[in-house]
Chain A
């Protein structure tokens, strides 16, 4: 079974991630997921590709800390975080987060908390490639 926290170039399967999450406990009554996708339009420009840079070892360590903190903070049964790097096209998957808890409320709250924290804490950067040139993305709140 794949690691619950990963950084990878390849696409991921939401079904496989949820299957792996469910396999960790049969007490799980609620699973919340977040899927971040590449947009082909941003700041009034067409975006042909998005490329990612990451401080790999630190990013992975921080994502693992995030998962552990979320499990403790929201009393989750399990959680998974997968982030792609390399180059993706409009519509492609970028990041997947899943939180499984006994009930829906902590699963939903944990999922929102993890993606918000990831954006602030994990050293990954995205660059939009447009017909007019390339530009690093300014963080969104």
Chain B
């Protein structure tokens, strides 16, 4: 399974903080975004940062592995 986390404004838009997606061999980050984007149209327009296993990633063609943790995040506003 792929664990998907949402925080702050993104969590509000998708109306959940966490979901799981069945892992499939060859699955990419783009596949996850396309899958969730279809379920939550517009929610991903405010995503500025994506992390896989707590490391920020930019390559949406990145291959995922079973048990990966993905986080979708809007611009930070701490401090």
Min CB–CB distance A128 → chain B (angstroms): 10
Interface size on A, residues (CB 8 A): 28
Report whether A127 and B8 are in contact in the complex, using a CB–CB cutoff of 8 Å: yes
Is residue A121 contacting chain B, with contact meaning CB distance below 8 A? yes
Q: Is the CB of A136 within 8 A of B74?
A: yes
B4 at the interface (CB under 8 A from A): no
In the docked arrangement, what's the CA distance between A115 and B79, Å?
Answer: 7
Which residues of the other chain, B, contact A120 by a CB distance below 8 angstroms?
A: 76
> In the bound complex, do residue A53 and residue B7 qualify as a contact, i.e. CB atoms below 8 Å apart?
yes
Interchain residue pairs A-B with the least CB separation, the first 5? A124-B78, A125-B8, A58-B54, A137-B77, A136-B9
Instruction: Given contact pairs A58-B54, A83-B79, A115-B79, enumerate 17 new A-B contacts (beta carbons under 8 Å).
Output: A54-B7, A55-B5, A55-B7, A95-B79, A119-B77, A119-B79, A122-B79, A123-B7, A123-B49, A123-B78, A125-B8, A126-B78, A136-B9, A136-B12, A136-B77, A138-B77, A140-B77
B residues with CB within 8 A of A:
5, 7-9, 11-12, 49, 51, 54, 71, 73-79
